[in-house]
Structures are given as C-alpha cells and as structure tokens.
Structure 1
Amino acid sequence: MSQIDWGLGSYEATGADLLPAARELVDAAAIRPGEHVVDIGAGTGNVALLAADLGARVTAVESAARLREVIREVSGERDVTVVDGTAASIPLADGSADVLLSNFAVIFAPDPAAAMAEMARVAGPQGRILLTSWLPGDIEEVIGLLVRAVRDLTGDGGSAQGRVGWHGPDVLNDLLGEHGFEVSATTNDLIITTSSPQEYWQTRIADHPLGVTTFPMLEQAGRLDEVRARTIDVLTERWTGTSGEVRLPAQYLLAVATR
C-alpha cells in the first residue's frame, strides 16, 4: 500500500482536516521573508500557501499530477513553484533550501533513510527540517480496520506509515543525526469532524486515495461491506455525539531538526 497515487479520488477533504496541523508546522518553522521553503508531499498546498503568505519563496514538491494542478490553481499570484518529485528525489540543488517542511507526507516514504538523506542534502548549512507524523491512537484504530483487511488479502506486513516508527523522536534522531541534525519534538492534538459516521466513511475513506486503491480488491473478496459496517459501528460507538456529529481525536508529533 506504499505505492498510492495520491491524486486518485478526492484528497481535498483530508487536506482540509490537516490544515490546523499545517498552521502549527509553519508557525514552528519561524519562517522569515525571503527564505526558500520546500514543502515535501505538498498535497493540496496547505503548507506551501501558508509559507508563501509569510513572504517565503516556496517550492512545492508533489508526485501526484492532479494535486500539482490543484496547488497551481489555489496558489494564485503567490511565489509558489510546483515541481514533480518525492522526499527521496527532490529536484533542487544541494544546500538550496532554508526550510524543508512535510505535513504527514514523508511518513509514507518507502525508504525513510533515503528520504531523510535527500532532505538533508537540499537543506542549507543553517537549514531546518520540520515534519508531522501520526501518533498511535484513535485515528490509527479507525484506518486500521481497512488496513488489516487489505493485509489479510495481500499478506503485506507493511504499515500505512512506512517502515519505521516516524512518531518516535529517537528514530528521527537516528535518521537525521548522521547528517548533522538534532531533533526536538512536541505532541499536538487535532480533531477531525464530520456530520455523521457515514460522511466520515465516504469522504475520509471511500473517496480517499487509500480507499480508491484498495476497495476493488476488498469488493472482489467480499470484504468491503464488512469493513464499512465495522468502521461505521466503531465511529458511532466511540466518537459520535448526540447530534450525530463525529469528532475523532488525533495526536501527532511535530518534529524540528536543526543543525
């Protein structure tokens, strides 16, 4: 499941969910006007736009062609350049970035060590790298229902967050320490809200690139209805209020790496 085309389906609802974390990420970066900021896995452009609004010169790196078009459209006249690339293949010169940011994106890199080495290569001598990653908890429990069903069918032992524990500061120190970075981290909270469990299923799972990628396999195996029913039941029992609104709490790590 690591080879997902993030342009499939509609990532826009999830992008809106992640905007508060994007604000925290950009605030923590203490961006100064004129700095070159690189947004890795830019998605719908949350981080890129916020950084540009602070006067930064922004390069948005995104592998999904559809999302690159979304960023170009929403960026308007801002100083945002959109390029095709990944965390492990950034089309920029050595030491050319003052700040590299990744909001729940680099955590999906198939080769974490290669991704961190590439980001360190692009970072300038005083460059800083900041990223967010999910902590184990409620949101993992919900998406885990889908992930485990797919794993049962494919025998894939991988996780949706790559092959290392991105939520561990020690892991990040190991990955970046050899490139001269020291990592500090804080734990932040996010609430994902939908009008109902059914809306959550449709907009955050079925229309999400992960759902679009995996649903045909589950449907063919006769497992999709089961996963849908279980997901809606769990959302209803644990995170749905009397109004019918879902409020799903999520904790995440905000890591800051400096030289």
Structure 2
Amino acid sequence: MNPNKMLWEKGDFTRIAQSMRESGDALVHSLNVVPGMAILDLGCGDGTTALPAAERGANVLGVDIAENLVAAGNARATAAGLTNLRFQQGDASDLTDLADESFDLVVSIFGAMFAPRPLAVAKEMTRVTRSGGRIVMGNWIPGDPTLVAQVLKTSAAYTPPPPEGFISPMTWGTEETVRERFEAAGVPAENITCERGTYIFRRQGPPQELLHTFKHYYGPTMNAFEAADKAGRADALEAELIRLFSAHNLGGESDTEIPATFLRVTVHKP
C-alpha cells in the first residue's frame, strides 16, 4: 500500500481542519476566484479551500490521496448543496486521469508538499494548468519557529529515520528548491514568486485540546507518539508539545488562536 496514503488515512484530518476553516476562507478570498473558474485543489483534505472556492462560483475538483478525506469532502459538498464541487481520490505526483491544461487555477495548501516524488508533483501541477493560469501552493517552512514546522520537527525527533531516498516534504518550504522544481517543469524563473503568509488555527477551548487532536488524528504526530511509546518516551514528547502549543497560543487560557507561518508560492504558467 502507498505509504503516503496510509499516513493520511491513519488519522482523521477533518478534526484538524475544523480549526483551519477561517484561514482557508481568507486564503481563497485572496485568490480572486470568479464564477465559472475551473479550479483543482490538490491534497485538498475535506475541502478547507475547495469549499469556499466553490461557494464563490468556481467549478472545483478536489483531489486527495486519502479516501476517508475524499468521502468527507463529498459529504460536505452535498450538505452545502454545491453541485459545482466534487472530490476524488488521486496522487499529486501522478494525475494521469486529468487532461493537460484543464484548470485556470491549481491550488494546494499543505497538501501536495507531502506527496512523494516532488519533481513529478511540480510537473503534474504545471501540466494540468492552462496557459495563462496560476498555481498557488502553501508549504510549511523548515526550521520556522511557528507551530506546525515545530510540531513536525519535534515529531521527527521521536520517529525512526525515514527510508533511504526519502525527500522531506519540508523542502517545499525552501524558495530555492521550489524555484528549481518549477523551472525544471518548464516555468520561467520570472513567473515564480514566493512570499510568507500566516495560517491561524482557531478553536474554542485551551491549546491542550488542539494538541489532543493532533495526537490522536494527525498522521505524523500519531506516528511519533507510537514510536515514543515503544521507547518509553511518550510522556517526554507530550510535555514538549504541550509547552509548544501553550507558548504559541494567543487566545488566552480558554481559547486557542495559534498562528503558523508558511511559504506562499505563486506560479504563472506562460
């Protein structure tokens, strides 16, 4: 079985996504989505960006490696009465069932960065984008001091080393690497821009409750706790993450509002 598929079907990312809805809507607002626009949301989860894009009148296809998230996305689309939104299972590094130049906008917010074979991901995203269209990615930044980059860094410290040949998804958060990949996919350097943005995790309740959600429903953190438990270090991992979530929380003792910095990549296909 595809290890990436196993990772994202292991937990239930919809639990995490509930704290990301406001930022997802704000990001879509910044994309200038117009009615009739054809959008591919790659690594879409249950539709944190796909659903608000469809609400603005775009025709949206969400693709995700995890079948449980595809099912959750289709359920959300049905509940919202959005006939212009559908979800299907797929691999961001192999979109062979999607035709060349099918979309005005390809968006991937913390999704395609986790797919294997990153050069193939860049080539596939470029291939399915129409001439004159855009690709917009949101990628976590390696070594960034804010929440998610630190959660992934901490989790990696408690997890066995990855297999030989593994390319870290965090490399998508490095501007030089992003440029190399899209230039190799045929995009001129001047058509690639990178800037920093902020995503905010919001939910009622203390930050320890958000940590609980990461611990039990976020694949990378779940793997870290399983490995830490086998090594007798689960308490140390939990204490480290509690300090991290509490230190970054701006919402006070009873609410959670935690910002996380990401690299926003915009590619204009010639």
Task: Determine whether 1:180 maps to 2:187.
Answer: yes
d(CA) in 2 for partners of 1:161 and 1:190?
A: 24
Matched AA of 1:53: E
Compute the displacement of 1:122 (Å): 0.8
- Confirm or deny: 8 A CA contact 1:34 1:56 kept in the other structure: yes
1:164–1:171 Cα contact (<8 Å) kept: no
CA shift for structure 1 position 123: 0.9
The match for 1:23 among 22, 25, 32 is 25
Which residue, 209, 217, 231 being the options, matches 1:199? 209
The amino acid across from 1:156 in the alignment is P
Confirm whether residue 82 of structure 1 aligns to residue 87 of structure 2: yes
> 4+ residue stretches of structure 1 with deviation over 6 A?
none
Offset of 1:16 from its aligned partner?
2.4
User: How far apart, CA to CA, are the structure 1 residues paired with 2:118 and 2:46?
Assistant: 22
TM-score by length of 1: 0.86
Alignment of 1:109 with 2:115, yes or no, is yes
Aligned pairs (5 A) from 1:44-193: 44-76=46-78, 77-78=81-82, 79-90=84-95, 91-135=97-141, 136-139=144-147, 140-150=149-159, 154-156=160-162, 162-163=168-169, 165-178=171-184, 179-181=186-188, 182-193=191-202
Q: How many residues align?
A: 254
State the secondary structure of the residue aligned to 1:81: strand
- Name stretches of at least 5 consecutive residues in structure 2 with no aligned partner: none
Taking a change above 3 Å as real, the CA distance of residues 234 and 157 of structure 1, as seen in their structure-2 partners, is: farther
Distance 1:9 1:61 in 2: 18
Q: Tell me by how many angstroms 1:94 deviates.
A: 1.0
Q: Summarize the Cα distance change of 1:21–1:112 in structure 2 as closer, same or farther, 3 Å threshold.
A: farther
The 2-side partners of 1:238 and 1:92 are apart by 40
2:27 corresponds to which letter in structure 1? L
Change (3 A) 1:111 1:65: same
Structure 1 position 219, deviation (Å): 1.6
Deviates most, 73-82 or 246-255: 246-255
In the superposition, the TM-score normalised over structure 2's length comes to 0.83
How far apart are residue 246 of structure 1 and its match?
A: 4.6
Gaps of 5+ in 1: none
Q: 1:96 & 1:221 partners in 2: Cα distance? A: 49
Superposed CA RMSD in Å reads 2.6
Matched position secondary structure for 1:38 = strand
Counterpart Cα distance in 2 of 1:244 and 1:98: 42
Which amino acid in structure 2 is aligned with residue 37 of structure 1? I
For the residue of structure 2 that corresponds to 1:17, the secondary structure is coil
How far does the alpha carbon of each residue in 1:162-195 deviate from its partner, in whole angstroms, 9 at most, with x for none? 3563223332222112422511233222333452
CA gap of 1:57–1:220, structure 2 versus 1, over 3 A, is same
Identity over aligned residues, as a percent? 24
Match for 1:184: what amino acid?
Answer: T
Task: Give the Cα–Cα distance (whole angstroms) in 1 for the partners of residues 206 and 167 of structure 2.
Answer: 26
Contact 1:186 1:254 in 2 (8 A): yes
